[in-house]
């Protein structure tokens, strides 16, 4: 079992979630149960799935939850784009949030690859 708080990808995912919450505060009230909810849910799902994977038994489970986190990050990417095109997010906020989301996806990809390589190494050593 790993301590999720020690992982840089979790730390950045958590900070991104806080930033998404801040950025969605000024959205129109009629979007609170729609787009705001979707944005916040997708953002929070990234660090939540990393944390859950760390609490599971073994790297295979961790890898599965990292893949779920990747899906949530991709969903967040789309919702950020939609929010920008609807005029709810300023260009600067959209650029910063989207850029951080892409960086987190890259980190998740590297982490997943490392877990796969470690597993292959264990199999080869047998």
What tens digit of pLDDT does each residue of 69-126 get?
A: 999 999 999 999 999 999 999 999 999 999 999 999 999 999 999 998 876 655 555 5
What is the rounded CA–CA span in Å between residue 120 and residue 91?
43
pLDDT of residue 92: 97
Rounded to 5°, angle at Cα 107 from 115 and 21: 125
In this prediction, residues 18-37 reach a mean pLDDT of 97
Topology of domain 4-125 in CATH is de novo design (two linked rop proteins) (1.20.1440)
- List C-alpha distances in Å: 101 to 55, 57, 74: 23, 27, 8
pLDDT tens readout for residues 37-84: 999 999 999 999 999 999 998 999 999 999 999 999 999 999 999 999
pLDDT of residue 117: 87
| pLDDT over 90 (residue 22) | yes
Helices (H), the chain: 8-24, 35-54, 59-85, 91-125
């Amino acid at each position: 079992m790993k301590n999720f708080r020690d992982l840089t990808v979790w730390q950045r995912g958590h900070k991104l979630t806080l930033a998404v919450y801040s950025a969605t505060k000024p959205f129109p009230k009629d979007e609170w149960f729609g787009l705001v909810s979707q944005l916040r849910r997708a953002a929070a799902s990234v660090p939540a799935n990393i944390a859950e994977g760390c609490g599971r038994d073994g790297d295979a489970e961790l890898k599965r939850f990292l893949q779920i986190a990747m899906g949530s990050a991709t969903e967040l990417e789309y919702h950020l784009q939609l929010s920008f095109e609807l005029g709810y997010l300023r260009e600067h906020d959209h650029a910063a949030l989207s850029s951080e989301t892409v960086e987190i996806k890259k980190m998740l990809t590297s982490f997943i690859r490392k877990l796969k390589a470690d597993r292959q190494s264990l199999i080869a050593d047998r």
